[in-house]
Amino acid sequence: MESLRIYNTLARDKQLFVPRRAGEVRMYVCGMTVYDYCHVGHARVMVVFDIVQRWLRTLGYQVTYVRNITDVDDKIIRRAVENGETIKALTDRFIAAMHEDADALGIERPDIEPRATDFIPQMLGMIERLEANGYAYRAKDGDVNYAVRKFANYGKLSGKSLEDLRAGERVAANDAKEDPLDFVLWKSAKPDEPADTIWESPYGRGRPGWHIECSAMSCTLLGEHFDLHGGGQDLQFPHHENEIAQSEGATNQTFVSYWMHNGFVQIDNEKMSKSLGNFFTIRDVLAKYDAEVVRFFIARAHYRSPLNYSDVHLDDARAALTRLYVALKEASPDDKVLDWNEAHAMRFRAAMNDDFNTPVAVAVLFELAGEVNRTRDAALARQLKGLAQVVGLLGRDPRVFLQQAGGSADEASLDVAAIEAQIAARVAAKQAKNYAEADRIRNALLEAGIALEDKPGGLTEWRRV
């Protein structure tokens, strides 16, 4: 296979990617907790790992991609109680909304999308193994906790020592815990909690902690040692650190070979999050911007870098994506297959093999677009379209993209019928040799964000700018 190198958070370095089974990749990504609409931070996770799995498949790997759904936790319970609805009604509604958002962004569905509530027996089985191995204990409040200090390598993913964590008081005090750093594996049911959030277990009636959910689902579906685990940077600690402690404590073997974490989405250099109230839902953004523009905005930043969100940056992304589509419109791609031995394709491939370096890969697309604009070469246009589609871009008819409404602060004021009426009036003015009126119409349309292009044979094409 290719010499793909991935920045492994665990090693703090780029490493040659060697899957455990030749030609196969088993990959798990932490998905959404479904109690509200997905925000732009979730969009970044979905786009980043969609591109990762697409590139792995492009390299010829047989990929099993698992992205879970957390459909029971404290936030879900609170929201369901507030709304007066069942947990399943709430989560089903927001899972459907998540799929709508993901489909709009061109996210390919994972091969497997497990719901936590379908894996309660597997979670209990892992807790029993942890208890047998001396890592879990039953607290006096009825919870089952993980004894962090029993796991010798705790902190190896995040680089945090137990002493630093203790000094930082990262965990709320709980008198029932043997150590403040210990975390819950099984939560004892509370009298006021809904019945549909309670399961019977050897530890009494209750529900799983958040961390055990991903350990159980990933190990069940991909094996106890698999290739690649991804998620947002905010999950590195404590969630992924705790996953390692649980999984390796239960199985006595390495849990994951390569860990990947995408950077935060920021607003004014501050992390976007619901707790800070500075987040934008995907659907709010898609009401204003084309979904492919949003995908392009995410894809042209390196996945490990912070991503600064603003209308200015999205406007710039739309203008840049427009340039690529204009190039395709001017030179129709031929129908041959993508040539990976062509110079641009080789540079694109090298960039993607260098820790999924999409900024460099996108730069190659713009080099190609420049060549296409200069030469109108159908083979180069095919290369441009084919390479872009590898990362989920340029999949539409250029005219459809270029004529659609959308963009910055002011929504398009003219619909297609109004634009075509103005074009017809301009044609009539030119036929009457009233060139001043024809120029006035062209300039008025341009001020309204519509550019006209006169083609041979009297045809006039238009696009939004």
293 within a domain of the structure (yes/no): no
Q: Does one domain contain both 324 and 387?
A: yes
End residue of a domain, out of 371, 401, 431: 401
User: For residues 212 and 201, is the Cβ–Cβ distance under 8 A?
Assistant: no
> Which of 216-220, 335-339, 372-376, 403-407 bottoms out in mean pLDDT, i.e. has the lowest?
403-407
pLDDT at residue 170 is higher than 50 = no
Q: Does one domain contain both 325 and 443?
A: no
CA dist 133 and 249 (Å) reads 7
284 within a domain of the structure (yes/no): no
The pLDDT, as a whole number, for residue 262 is 98
pLDDT at residue 1 is higher than 80 = no
The pLDDT, as a whole number, for residue 183 is 96
Q: Does one domain contain both 397 and 422?
A: no
281 within a domain of the structure (yes/no): no
**Domain extent for 23:** 5-135+149-157+210-267
Q: Of residues 442 and 255, which shows the higher confidence score?
A: 255
> Other C-beta atoms within 10 Å of 142: how many?
16
Task: Find the mean pLDDT for residues 80-108.
Answer: 97
Q: Is 232 helix (H, G, I), strand (E, B) or coil?
A: strand
Q: Does one domain contain both 445 and 352?
A: no
pTM reported for the whole predicted model: 0.92
The pLDDT, as a whole number, for residue 171 is 47
Tell me the per-residue pLDDT of 400-443, one tens digit each, with 9 for 90 and over.
999 886 654 344 567 888 888 888 789 887 888 887 887 898 98
Tell me the per-residue pLDDT of 310-326, one tens digit each, with 9 for 90 and over.
999 999 999 999 999 99
Check the annotation: does 243 bind a ligand: yes
- Cis link prior to 238 (omega < 30° from 0)? yes
Check the annotation: does 38 bind a ligand: no
Q: Does one domain contain both 442 and 325?
A: no
The pLDDT, as a whole number, for residue 410 is 44
> Which of 343-352, 374-383, 427-436 bottoms out in mean pLDDT, i.e. has the lowest?
427-436
Q: Does one domain contain both 253 and 127?
A: yes
296 within a domain of the structure (yes/no): no
User: For residues 353 and 6, is the Cβ–Cβ distance under 8 A?
Assistant: no
Q: Does one domain contain both 356 and 447?
A: no
Check the annotation: does 274 bind a ligand: yes
Task: Find the mean pLDDT for residues 162-171.
Answer: 65
User: For residues 368 and 389, is the Cβ–Cβ distance under 8 A?
Assistant: no
**Alpha helix (H) ranges present in 149-266?**
162-168, 210-222, 241-251
Tell me the per-residue pLDDT of 179-237, one tens digit each, with 9 for 90 and over.
999 999 999 999 889 999 999 999 999 999 999 999 999 999 999 999 999 999 999 99
192 within a domain of the structure (yes/no): no
Structural domains of the chain, count: 3
275 within a domain of the structure (yes/no): no
Q: Does one domain contain both 98 and 226?
A: yes
Check the annotation: does 219 bind a ligand: no
The chain-wide mean pLDDT, for the chain, equals 92
Q: Does one domain contain both 19 and 105?
A: yes
pLDDT at residue 89 is higher than 70 = yes
Q: Does one domain contain both 255 and 327?
A: no
62 within a domain of the structure (yes/no): yes
The pLDDT, as a whole number, for residue 405 is 63
Instruction: Report the CATH number that the domain containing residue 322 is assigned in CATH.
Output: 1.20.120.640
Tell me the CB-side half-sphere exposure of residue 311, using CA atoms within 13 A: 9
pLDDT at residue 86 is higher than 70 = yes
The pLDDT, as a whole number, for residue 173 is 57
CA dist 226 and 218 (Å) reads 9
172 within a domain of the structure (yes/no): no
Tokens of 60: 């010829």
Check the annotation: does 214 bind a ligand: yes
Among 102, 103, 108, which Cα is nearest to 44's? 102
Among 273, 310, 260, which Cα is nearest to 289's? 310
Q: Is 145 helix (H, G, I), strand (E, B) or coil?
A: strand
Instruction: Report the CATH number that the domain containing residue 71 is assigned in CATH.
Output: 3.40.50.620
The pLDDT, as a whole number, for residue 154 is 96
Q: Does one domain contain both 323 and 388?
A: yes
Q: Is 395 helix (H, G, I), strand (E, B) or coil?
A: coil
Q: Does one domain contain both 25 and 92?
A: yes
